Amino acid sequence: MATMDNILNTVTFYWLTGPIFDKELRVASRRRRNYVFRSLYLLILTLILILFWVEEVRFSYGSASSRASRMYMVGMGITAIIIWAQFCTSQIIGVIMLSTSISDEIYSKTLGALMTTPINSMQIVLGKLLSGLLQILVLIGVSFPLLAIVRVFGGVPWQFLLSGFCITMTAVIFVGSLCMFFSIFCRRAYVVIILTILTLAALFLFFPLLTLFAIHRVIDEKIFVSLLYHLNPYFCMGVQTEILFDPRSAGFTGPIFWPLHCGILLILSSGILLLCVVMVRRAALRQIVGASPGVQSRYVSEQVQEYMDKAGRIRRVWGPPVVWKELLSPLTRHKTLVVVFGIIGLGLLIISYGLFAEHNDLDEEYCHILYGVIFFSLGLLVTLVFPATTITTERESRTWPALLGTAVDDWNILLGKVIGTLKRCLPAWLPLFGHIWLFTLVGYIHPAAMFQISFLVFWTMMFLIGSGLYFSGRFKRTTTAVVMNFILGSVIWALVPFLLFMMLAISHSSDDLGEAYMDLNPYVHLCSILDATARQNSSLRYDWLSGGRSNFWESSIWMLLCGWTYIAIGVFFAWRAKCRFRKNIFH
């Protein structure tokens, strides 16, 4: 029996994953939200497939060969959408699922107990990672029947399906490994999510753009494209999709081989995982000897003494107590990490400004639109995350019932949470305002942009803060609340316009309705403002998708109407959050 057990453990890789993998699978199988999300994911993909099919059936005419060619294009289009949906969704889910994979064990003080058992640090790390990957595999497997149906249309080579699956899985493994590494040092899920997204943006977006500007004159274009293909999963997936629609484009990309790209990402992921194994072991040993989570043992006594000195001083409360507490609480406990990321980001920004100045592009509107979109996305990311953590973190730390048991009423609690969220989110918008202010002084941007973008940022923050507070009061876990706030933004600003334009194309209706809806999108507002103001001696002529409102005053009135509509919706969300403060307090 012992020999058989050893053989089974070796064949099933139980020696590598250990009981952690089994425990995570049992917990995940009992979470209702996993089944709900899979059902919604499959429903959306099926809806897209139906829309493509209805368009083809309704407007199929001509000879059999012409209809076959249209089916060929429909099959490729649907396949590309499904593959890209898997590619993006799986990474988002991986980041969210693994954001607290190690920190939960560290701050629950169970990591030290685990290390006293036969479970080793490698089994802990790989068990957490593989349990999350299995859930993502199930999500990807849900769409396999749709891909099988699309294959009937023809025109989709199996090599594209295989490459899409392998590129997706290796990208998820790399993103999950990076997320687990940050979860060792950061307790909160939202901090891990933000750090992971910023790191991915720097590695796969910002660094390639800077490299392209810096060495485009000294390196052959095909060599650069080949290097980027083998190192960047997003670029690799884009090239594979382009080759699907136009096989001749492979001759313009240089030597490419997608298995090599997957191998490189797996090697990088293995290095990060080995580092995670070492850090998890060190964290467990510190916990066993009695050190605080994330603190070196030789500094424990000094930090305890410093805390006792601070605790001995009585601080007078002024104004509403929740507002006082939120204003005095630190923005983050990871000041060193913030300083390091800030210095790196500032250095990269200065280098990028220098490269654009070398090409005399700093006075072009497309340059400022690019920076505006990047900085706006940074602020939007932080504003999507922080409001959804305000109440759930109180519940997880068991302080929410105590707060509700005081004499502070619900309106003061809500006001304090809103002010605290504004305090935490405003620093993320400083790069956008700094860029606008700097180039306004230089004369490349009209001063009107500062006022219009300030109002744009204000109503975007108020809308997302209200929705984040509602989801934070509605759900028990921080991760769930953050996911729901992400889904809300993705649905109203991405999914609904996509489906709306598809339905308008199917019915051969005018795109006026879709363009009018897109004019409610904050990114459209941002691009319209910068396009009209980021010119020397600008005449302030605004180009909206639906036309009209071209001058400054008409555009400003439209922005005010959109902004106050979003603010009203955000206030409604915040009011509903207040109504739920005293419901399910202990759940």
Q: What is the DSSP string of 511-539?
A: THHHHHHHTTSHHHHHHHHHHHHSSTT--
Residue 277 shares a structural domain with residue 412 = no
Tell me how far CA of residue 177 lies from CA of 171, 180, 270, in angstroms: 10, 5, 8
Query: 470 and 573 in contact (C-beta within 8 Å)?
Result: yes
Find all residues with CB under 8 Å of 286, minimum gap 6, and list them: 295, 296, 297
Local structure of residue 205 (DSSP, 8 states): I
Answer yes or no: is 342 within a domain.
no
Residue 435 shares a structural domain with residue 553 = yes
Q: What's the pLDDT score for residue 302?
A: 47
Q: Among 288, 305, 326, which residue terminates a domain? A: 288
Query: 52 and 77 in contact (C-beta within 8 Å)?
Result: yes
Answer yes or no: is 453 within a domain.
yes
Residue 159 shares a structural domain with residue 43 = yes
Residue 388 shares a structural domain with residue 528 = yes
Residue 369 shares a structural domain with residue 284 = no
Answer yes or no: is 512 within a domain.
yes
Query: 187 and 107 in contact (C-beta within 8 Å)?
Result: yes
Long-range CB pairs of 532-537 (<8 Å, 24+ gap) are: 532/446, 533/445, 533/446, 533/448, 533/449, 533/452, 534/364, 534/365, 534/367, 534/368, 534/369, 534/439, 534/444, 534/445, 534/446, 534/449, 535/363, 535/365, 535/446, 536/363, 536/443, 536/444
In whole angstroms, give the CA distance from residue 521 to residue 544: 11
In whole angstroms, give the CA distance from residue 569 to residue 417: 18
Q: What's the pLDDT score for residue 12?
A: 58
In whole angstroms, give the CA distance from residue 16 to residue 125: 10
Query: What is the domain count for the chain?
Result: 2
Tokens of 73: 């294009």
Instruction: For 279-313, give the secondary structure using H, E and C.
Output: HHHHHHHHHHCCCCCCCCHHHHHHHHHHHHHHHCC
Answer yes or no: is 562 within a domain.
yes
Q: What's the pLDDT score for residue 298?
A: 42
Query: 443 and 390 in contact (C-beta within 8 Å)?
Result: no
Q: Among 288, 306, 335, which residue terminates a domain? A: 288
Q: What are phi and psi of 336, to 5 degrees?
A: -65, -45
Tokens of 379: 């602020």
Q: What's the pLDDT score for residue 300?
A: 40
The radius of gyration of the chain from alpha carbons, rounded to an integer in Å, stands at: 26
Q: Among 259, 288, 317, which residue terminates a domain? A: 288
Q: What's the pLDDT score for residue 433?
A: 94
Tokens of 555: 């555009």
Answer yes or no: is 556 within a domain.
yes
Answer yes or no: is 431 within a domain.
yes
Residue 278 shares a structural domain with residue 375 = no
Residue 239 shares a structural domain with residue 375 = no
Query: 531 and 365 in contact (C-beta within 8 Å)?
Result: yes
Residue 252 shares a structural domain with residue 385 = no
**Where do we find the tokens 């499959």?**
42
| pLDDT tens-place string over residues 389-435 | 888 888 877 788 888 888 888 888 898 889 888 888 898 899 999 99
Tell me how far CA of residue 458 lies from CA of 114, 465, 563, in angstroms: 47, 10, 8
Residue 398 C-beta-side C-alpha neighbours within 13 Å: 0
Q: What's the pLDDT score for residue 549?
A: 63
Residue 125 shares a structural domain with residue 253 = yes
Residue 255 shares a structural domain with residue 110 = yes
Query: 241 and 84 in contact (C-beta within 8 Å)?
Result: yes
Residues in the chain with pLDDT values less than 70: 5-17, 55-71, 151-155, 216-218, 250-254, 289-315, 329-335, 337, 535-539, 548-549, 586-587
CA–chain centroid gap for 138, Å, is: 21
Tokens of 82: 């499904």
In whole angstroms, give the CA distance from residue 297 to residue 299: 5
In whole angstroms, give the CA distance from residue 392 to residue 408: 19
Structural domain span for residue 564: 365-579
Q: What's the pLDDT score for residue 538?
A: 58
Residue 572 shares a structural domain with residue 459 = yes
Find all residues with CB under 8 Å of 27, minimum gap 6, and list them: none
Answer yes or no: is 313 within a domain.
no
Q: What's the pLDDT score for residue 523?
A: 93
Query: 225 and 216 in contact (C-beta within 8 Å)?
Result: no
User: At residue 112, what is the residue type?
Assistant: G
In whole angstroms, give the CA distance from residue 276 to residue 98: 13
3-state secondary structure of 546: coil
Answer yes or no: is 322 within a domain.
no
In whole angstroms, give the CA distance from residue 276 to residue 177: 8
In whole angstroms, give the CA distance from residue 126 to residue 177: 10
Residue 275 shares a structural domain with residue 377 = no
CA angle 174, 178, 181 (to 5 degrees): 140
CA angle 338, 342, 344 (to 5 degrees): 120
For residue 139, the tally of other CB atoms under 10 A from its CB is: 18
For the chain, helix, strand, coil in percent to 5 are 80, 0, 20
